[in-house]
Amino acid sequence: MRLETGAHDMRIAVIGQASFGESVLNMLVERGEKVVAVLCAPDREGRTIDPVKQAAQRHNIHVLQFRRMRDQLAIETFKRLNLDLCVMAFVTDIVPEEMLQAPTQGTIQYHPSLLPKHRGPSSINWPIIKGETRTGLTIFWPDEGLDTGPVLLQKEVEIGPDDTLGSLYFDKLFPMGVEALVEAVDRVKAGNAPKEPQDHSEATYEGWCRKGDLVIDWSRPLNGIYNLIRGSDPSPGAGTTFKGQEIRLYRAEKWDMPSERGPGEVVEVLDQGFSVAAGEGILFICRVQPAGSGKIMARDWIESVALKPGARFGD
């Protein structure tokens, strides 16, 4: 079936979560799209209601919450929506093929990398950690594989030399991604949405970026350590130890200057943070998360442990 522009309002469902899902939903509604249902994870006791659910309630849109999209009840309920298009905006559950193909025009999904590069769940972290200077986003047609479906559109962005996970996502990939999903909906409505196969021979895949992947080796080159910290800032943070206790580091600055201190040794303690010898240079740290604590400014931690030059991280 091919929809002609203006033939009728497409019946759309949004599957998503968090602020990204909320922003996509709000923009679709503001543009007059006929969003008939929103699917998100069940509420969790003691947690605030997901922003995408709150937005759906404000717009009087039906909300469906299933623990697993693969459950038969979820599949049958979804089919009864009689959809033209499903829009997946930040989805971490596995959506079965039967559900993906149920809408007459299929399903489109946002992924924050230039597929087939960086398939997988932490596709924003890894390009920064690996020292890459370009990344982007892909709107694609999901299939039974993991981020393997045909591409509808892509947009490229620069990874600045001091970009963090947070700045790359919130300043670039988030707003561009919302606009790209809406553009993709327009293309589907117009009947000219591409389905370009990915070159699977060029594919890369990385799993979740977890704390175990983010342990700092202070003898590594300066850029590698700096990339590790900024690629995991604000979460989960690059880790090291201090006097046998784990500590995670954030808001790093890179100083390309030599130090007489050994790798991991504190060079200087200043009002706003502390500097550490790293590889062939120095890193200045402004924010930390000690074991058993939330994130705090480095100056507060400095006082609590009486940090002095010559103290060593990584022992």
Tokens 């790293």 -> residue? 278
Residue ranges in the chain modelled with pLDDT below 70: 1-8
In this structure, whether the domain defined by 11-202 belongs to CATH 3.10.110.10 is answered with no
Exposed/middle/buried for residue 197 (C-beta within 10 Å: 0-12, 13-18, 19+)? exposed
Which residues, at least 6 apart from 25, have a Cβ–Cβ distance to it below 8 Å?
14, 16, 35, 38, 52, 55, 56, 59, 61, 89
Q: What is the pLDDT of residue 315?
A: 81
Q: Is 6 left (phi over 0), alpha (psi -120 to 50) or beta?
A: left
pLDDT single digits (tens) 262-302: 999 999 999 999 999 999 999 999 999 999 999 999 999 99
Give pTM, 2 decimals: 0.93
CB burial of 145-174 (b: ≥16 within 10 Å; e: otherwise) equals: eebbbbbbbbbebebeeebbbebbbeebbb
Closest by Cα among 152, 39, 150, 144 to 98: 144
- Domain extent listing, the chain: 11-202, 211-305
CB burial of 214-237 (b: ≥16 within 10 Å; e: otherwise) equals: bebebeeebbebbbbbbbbbbebb
Q: What is the pLDDT of residue 5?
A: 41
What is the CATH number that goes with domain 211-305? 3.10.25.10
Q: At CA 266, angle to CA 265 and CA 268, rounded to 5?
A: 150
Q: What is the pLDDT of residue 8?
A: 60
Q: Is 32 left (phi over 0), alpha (psi -120 to 50) or beta?
A: left
